[in-house]
Amino acid sequence: MRSPIASTRFSFLDRSRTREGHDGPQALRDTVALAREVESLGYHRFWVSEHHSVPGVAGSAPTVLAAAVAAATSAIRVGTGGVMLPNHRPLVVAEQFGVLASLFPGRIDMGLGRSVGFTDGVRRALGHGKEDAEDFPGRLAELLGWIDGTQQAHPQVHARPAEGLRIPAYVLAIGEGAAVAAAAGLPLVIGDLRGREKVLRAIEVYRRDFRPSARAERPEVIVSGTVAVAGSAEAARRLLVPEAWAMAYARTHGSFPPLAPAEEIERRTMTAKERELYERGLDGHVHGTEEQVTEQLERAIEETGADEVLVTTSTYDREALVDSLRRLAGIAGLRR
């Protein structure tokens, strides 16, 4: 029987995480360099994210960073995972993607999310509140209307150069966001792979309620999550350590620290709460040797029916990360 991995696309999302000894500007340069590596390995697309005032994340302007990534590569699709639509006017988002799609035709993806700022202070600084996320379907419809040339709310106003261009749109969703993607007739990006039952319920809703559109004739599911592959299960687990500790620290101290080396974290004395969150952060990810990861991915793809896997692995050791992506490319049989 043919493995489901063989018919599945693989892509990568980089959050531009800062690392100890490597500041925000370096994290952005690392993202661009990683995109070149990911392209050379044959991955389908490379996406970047949007975060505001998060100490451990440098990626605050995804369309700007996507332009740098697209300019540094030649064939891989480039996009956002995602632009958080409640933070922006839909017209401006349409214009930005119109510029990207004009400069890099046939390569730009418009991934869109409904999250707002991380804290009340960030939301006030952005000029938006939690209520803006509730109008995500309306903002999404307005954005698509600017690109399709069908919006009627602002007569004689046009989103140039976006209007009339074919810019693929994707909805990033957790839970109720799947219904938004289904109603809009757009592909769904959902994660993570650890919360499998919740993901499966959302995918079921999405497929059941999907309405074919000019942008997508059938449901399309992209599942996202951490995947770590190494020569041993222990080495793969160590790739997970920096992000697991950063999440545990954030949940006990209120801010994300830069990623630290795994060996440094493993020597730290943790409180009981930190230890609990840290251990929980290590559980459930797809990781191990090539054989172990192949088995885990086959099960995940069969359960979700995913058309694509969007890898979201963050770690301190960039060489080990590239090696993991190289091993995963071998598992998937990727070819450029």
Map residue 228 onto helix, strand or coil. strand
pLDDT 10s digit of each residue in the chain, 336 long?
578 999 999 999 999 999 999 999 999 999 999 999 999 999 999 999 998 878 889 999 999 999 999 999 999 999 999 999 999 999 999 999 999 999 999 999 999 998 876 677 877 887 777 776 778 999 999 999 999 999 988 999 999 999 999 999 999 987 668 999 999 999 999 988 887 888 999 999 999 999 999 999 999 999 999 999 999 999 999 999 999 999 999 999 988 899 999 999 999 999 999 999 999 999 999 999 999 999 999 999 999 999 999 999 999 999 999 999 999 999 999 975
CA angle (94, 97, 98) in 5-degree steps = 80
Between the two ends of the chain, the Cα-to-Cα distance in Å is: 25
pTM of the entire predicted model: 0.95
- Alpha carbon separation from 307 to 141, 191, 213, 268, 278 (Å, rounded): 25, 13, 18, 40, 31
State the alpha helices, DSSP H only, in the chain.
24-40, 62-72, 90-103, 120-126, 130-134, 136-148, 177-184, 196-209, 233-253, 262-266, 272-282, 290-304, 318-332
Q: Give the number of other Cβ atoms within 10 Å of residue 268's Cβ.
A: 12
Torsion of CA 17, 18, 22, 28, to 10 degrees: 50
What distance in Å separates the CA atoms of residue 60 and residue 54, rounded to the nearest whole number? 9
The predicted-structure confidence for 129-155, as pLDDT tens digits, reads as follows 777 677 899 999 999 999 999 998 899
What distance in Å separates the CA atoms of residue 267 and residue 91, rounded to the nearest whole number? 50
Rg (C-alpha) for the chain, rounded Å, is 19
Q: Tell me phi and psi for residue 109, to 5 degrees.
A: -110, 140
Q: Tell me phi and psi for residue 46, to 5 degrees.
A: -130, 120
Mean pLDDT of all residues belonging to the chain: 94
The predicted-structure confidence for 48-60, as pLDDT tens digits, reads as follows 999 887 888 999 9
CA angle (129, 130, 135) in 5-degree steps = 100
